[in-house]
Amino acid sequence: MADAHPLIQPPAQAGRPGLHAMYGAADTKLKVEQLSFFYGKKQALKDVTFQIPEKRITAIIGPSGCGKSTLLRVFNRMYDLVPAAYATGSALLDGEDIVTTRKLLELRQKVG
């Protein structure tokens, strides 16, 4: 029998659809808040906010050039290898901020 609980509604953002987990979903594994990414002066991601529950299948879909691969690179901190590339906001993996962590080997083992 399907879960009859309604979706949890996050605060509305002007012109943007809400991305949220269903009621009773697993604990949050990855929580992204106001994440923006820049290649120098060019902004590739703007204020991305969503949550991924633990032990659930999640798909990131969209047209070519919308930032899917850039978002995955942020999760693994692969942008550290690109001069002048940086992220703002937060992406918490098990409560630790990916954007500011210095434990890159541990992060990449977890994310990979």
3-state secondary structure of 103: coil
**Digit-coded pLDDT (tens) for 45-89:** 999 999 988 888 888 999 999 999 999 999 999 888 889 999 999
Q: How many CB atoms lie within 10 A of CB 19?
A: 12
Tell if the pTM clears 0.95, that is, is over it. no
Q: Which residues pair with 39 in a beta bridge?
A: 42, 85
In DSSP notation, 7-27 reads BPPPPPBTTB----PBTTPPP
Query: What would the mean pLDDT of 26-49 be, rounded to a whole number?
Result: 92
